Amino acid sequence: MPRADIVQRVRYFVVVMGFVAVVAALVGIKAAQISSLIGMGKQMQKAGPPPETVATFVAERQTWEGTLSAVGSVTAARGVAVSNDAPGIVSRILFDSGATVREGQVLVELDTGVERAQLASAQARQDLAHLTATRSHTLLASDSISKAQVDSDEAQLKSATTDTSALAAQIGRKTVRAPFAGRLGLRLVNRGQYLTSGTPVTVLEAIDMVYVDFTLPQQRLAEVQLGMPVHVSIEGAEASAYDGAVSAIDPAVDSATRTIKLRASVPNKEEKLAPGMFAKVSLVLPQKGSFVVLPATALIHASYGDSVFVVEDKDGTSPASPGRVQNGKDDAKGPDGQPAKMARQQFVRLGDARGDFVAVLDGVTEGQEVVTGGGFKLRNGSGVVVNNDIKLTPQLAPHPENH
């Protein structure tokens, strides 16, 4: 074989071997990387997902007064559609829409020109009859006239007096007055308008005291008594609640809804309650109860029941359940050196709600730490990190700002 061919083959061999060495090195590097990733994956799988940041609340016990909740409607304690008694043409309007009036204040006057002329004529006849009757009594004393003439003159005086009173009453019927003190509604008539009898002029309502009508199930009838206190709240109103008392209980149960109707009297000196408002009513019962409570934000509602996430140490213990161990380990530490935390889903049985709180009848004990923010991203056994730097403060009587 010629020397040139041998040299050329050697060169080819060297090139091939170099290529094989490069490929082998690349394969080794990739194998090391894959092995490292697999190891990291096993470590992450062993460590589990990273902990979620949550806000928490320590379950506390509060004493609540017993209440029955209902919805009602505000009505005026005294309200009437003011209307005219006699027909006529409006001659004067003496009020403005929304004005506050006193009892007996004149609101509208109808034209009484004809009646006043008739009254003047009747008054003249009455005056004449009075003079005639007085003269007849004087003459009777001297036996100048008969007793029959005196009786006739007295009858004429009574008839004239009656006619005068009737015309005065007819004129009074054409003057519309406020039947009681209160606030007027919108003006519904205009000057020069002809009104038939009973035409609405405006609405008058006394709102220094209002009624709140509401209903309760018939099963609660035995618990309700006259004079029981109530708290009334209006959605969006400045004041959180208005205090009143039960003033009337309907003796009959509604056969359609099986509910009893109640009426509460509520002072309204500041006139913040207006007839027609929708109201939330809490009827205060004599007895009180002590409950373990949580913020409503801690609850997770589902078709299979209500639950919360209880925060515990990863060794399975918590301040409220000492000595409880799930995995037998006590060396799980968090980033801050403290025992690592986990969330355990716990089903609960709920009671009444007050403001931002809900009473928990079963499932959570006083002192347990419960997730109130971020629970939607948790599952049973998830690791958690508690951060309460920014959280809402629950209140029994919240006052949210209206933006």
- The first and second tokens of residue 95, run together, are 């009020």
**What is the Cα–Cα distance from 157 to 302, expressed in whole angstroms?**
90
Mean pLDDT lowest among 237-251, 274-288, 348-362: 237-251
- Enter the pTM of the model: 0.56
Q: What is the pLDDT confidence band of residue 236, given thresholds at 50, 70 and 90?
A: low
* Superfamily (CATH H level) for 68-75+209-286: Efflux pump adaptor protein, beta barrel domain (2.40.30.170)
Q: How confident is the model at residue 1, as a pLDDT?
A: 57
CA dihedral 13, 17, 18, 19 (to 10 degrees): 100
Six-digit token string for 188: 């519904």
Provide the β-strand partners of residue 355: none
Nearest to 103 by CA among 40, 182, 162: 182
Pairwise pLDDT comparison (181 vs 334), residue with the higher score: 181
Q: Three-state SS for 194?
A: strand
What is the rounded radius of gyration, in angstroms, for the C-alpha atoms of the chain? 45
Region of 189 (left: φ > 0; alpha: ψ -120 to 50; beta: rest) is beta
**pLDDT tens column, 14-66:** 777 888 888 888 888 888 888 888 877 776 666 557 788 899 999 999 888 77
Side chain identity, residue 388: N
- Both tokens of 364, joined, read 């959570």
Q: How many residues appear in the chain?
A: 403
112-173 domain in CATH 3.50.50.60?
no
Give the domain ranges of the chain: 52-64+291-386, 68-75+209-286, 112-173
Place of tokens 């008392």: 245
Given pLDDT bands bounded at 50, 70 and 90, which one contains residue 87? Answer: very high
- Contact 73/266 with Cβ under 8 angstroms? no
400 three-state secondary structure = coil
State the average pLDDT for the chain.
83
Q: What is the pLDDT of residue 94?
A: 92
CATH architecture classification, 52-64+291-386: Beta Barrel (2.40)
Q: Could you tell me what percent of the chain has a pLDDT over 70?
A: 88
Q: What are the beta bridge partners of residue 281?
A: 70, 232
pLDDT confidence bin for 367, thresholds 50/70/90:
very high
Distance of CA 391 to the CA centre of its chain: 25
68-75+209-286 shares its CATH topology with 112-173: no
For 169-219, the pLDDT digits (tens) are 888 888 999 998 888 999 999 999 999 999 999 999 887 889 999 999 998
pLDDT for 332 equals: 58
Q: What is the pLDDT of residue 129?
A: 86
For residue 26, the model assigns a pLDDT of 85
Does position 7 have pLDDT exceeding 80, yes or no?
no
Q: Which of 131-145, 169-183, 304-318, 387-401 has the highest mean pLDDT?
A: 169-183
Average pLDDT over residues 357-366: 92
Give tens-digit pLDDT for 114-170: 888 888 888 898 888 888 888 888 887 777 778 888 788 888 888 889 989 888 888
**Longest C-alpha distance within the chain, in Å?**
191
Distance CA 171, CA 186 (A): 25
Using pLDDT thresholds of 50, 70 and 90, give the confidence band for residue 290. confident
Question: Cα(210)–Cα(394) distance, rounded to whole angstroms?
Answer: 31
The per-residue pLDDT for 186 is: 92
pLDDT at 309 exceeding the cut of 90: yes
246 — phi, psi (to 5°)?
A: -70, 125
